[in-house]
């Protein structure tokens, strides 16, 4: 799965532009897997297990990443943009990016410290519309046929291993996609639906459509969640810790999870021997909020990678957590299939 995560991380796919990610996943599917792509762009895969399931279970991971989108090209060749998803200006300044389908190399411009004086020295842009991207063009004419409003912009960030960690862009949620793809390739115990969803980063839009089509009894959202196990943060404020296994929340900003399902996940960890931890801060949200409230309601749980520096060019996960996530998701899905 490590190499799959690296490959998925390298692909460009902001919300609404997930095509390359979806095409790669389809290229890796076994010939026996049944799949469809809906009008939103969700990829839904049905995998027959060794046994029939008592309940219909859907596993979901989103394909899109946060990024930017071209809004305007100035007469002197600079590109203006808007954010797609929650991107902090602080992680954009001076960053290398890829622009458009041609993936032109660009840099998000920022005034250097040498040109800042007095009160301006500590003042940096706060909003995307105050920034621009420099792709080396000297006029808008140079960019005709290369870049247009509506083109995607992604961080250009190499995926690398360092120590026990893996760093890369879009690990939210390409790491989750890798877990689902690995389960599909290696087979499942019970009939299972897998939903690779779109537009999670702009309001969890695709997952609701996928759940409506599949009509699951249970769903497991396979995600990433913010970890603050860094210098200067202690106790419950760390949220969760890298290397301590899968993260299961009892509540986040979008979903109040069933106490029974939360308890069952922790019981399974003891029974099956995988590492699990609790998300200790009620924050964030994911596709669970759209799936849980679909049709007459879906019994839903989220299982996440602990991840540092989310929504930046340098998301970081612990390599040991990859195997723990696979064990946790597999055990929980099998339990739900026969609940």
Active site amino acids: 200
**Beta-bridge mates of residue 300:** 219
* Measured CA distances, 68 to 60, 98, 135, 159, 163 (Å): 24, 10, 15, 20, 31
Q: Is the CB of residue 194 less than 8 Å from the CB of residue 185?
A: no
DSSP letter assigned to residue 281? S
- H helices of 187-319, where? 205-214, 259-272, 288-292
Torsion of CA 277, 223, 66, 196, to 10 degrees: 180
Q: Are strands 276-278 and 246-248 parallel, antiparallel or unpaired?
A: parallel
Torsion of CA 180, 186, 191, 197, to 10 degrees: 20
- H helices of the chain, where? 2-10, 19-28, 171-186, 205-214, 259-272, 288-292, 320-337
Give the count of alpha carbons within 13 A of 18, CB side only: 30
Interhelix angle 19-28/2-10, nearest 10 degrees? 150
Backbone phi, psi, residue 152, to 5°: -80, 155
CA distance 305 to 5: 12
Q: Is the CB of residue 160 less than 8 Å from the CB of residue 86?
A: no
């Amino acid at each position: 799965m490590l190499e799959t995560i690296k490959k998925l991380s390298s692909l460009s796919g902001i919300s609404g532009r997930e095509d390359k990610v979806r095409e790669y996943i389809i290229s890796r599917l076994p010939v026996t897997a049944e799949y469809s792509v809906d009008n939103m762009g969700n990829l839904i895969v049905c995998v027959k297990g060794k046994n029939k399931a008592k309940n219909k279970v859907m596993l979901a991971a989103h394909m899109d990443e946060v990024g930017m989108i071209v809004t305007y090209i100035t007469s002197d060749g600079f590109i203006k943009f808007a954010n797609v998803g929650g991107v902090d200006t602080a992680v954009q300044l001076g960053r290398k990016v890829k622009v458009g389908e041609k993936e032109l190399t660009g840099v998000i411009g920022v005034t250097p410290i040498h040109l800042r004086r007095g009160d301006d020295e500590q003042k940096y842009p706060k909003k995307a519309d105050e920034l621009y991207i420099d792709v080396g063009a000297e006029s808008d004419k140079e960019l005709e046929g290369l870049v247009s409003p509506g083109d995607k912009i992604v961080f250009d960030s190499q995926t690398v291993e360092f120590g026990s960690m893996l760093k890369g862009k879009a690990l939210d949620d390409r790491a989750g996609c890798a877990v689902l793809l690995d389960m599909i390739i290696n087979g499942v115990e019970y009939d299972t639906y897998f939903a690779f969803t779109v537009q999670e980063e702009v309001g969890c839009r695709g997952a609701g459509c996928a759940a409506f089509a599949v009509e699951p009894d249970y769903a497991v959202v396979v995600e990433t969640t913010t970890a603050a196990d860094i210098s200067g943060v202690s106790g419950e404020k760390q949220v969760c810790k890298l290397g301590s296994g899968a993260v299961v929340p009892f509540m986040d900003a979008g979903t109040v999870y069933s106490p029974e399902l939360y308890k069952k996940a922790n019981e399974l960890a003891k029974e099956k021997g995988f590492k699990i931890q609790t998300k200790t801060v009620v924050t964030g949200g994911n596709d669970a909020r759209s799936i849980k409230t679909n049709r007459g309601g879906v019994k839903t749980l989220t299982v996440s990678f602990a991840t540092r520096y989310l929504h930046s060019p340098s998301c970081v996960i612990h390599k040991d957590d990859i195997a723990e996530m696979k064990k946790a998701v597999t055990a929980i899905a099998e339990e739900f299939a026969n609940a």
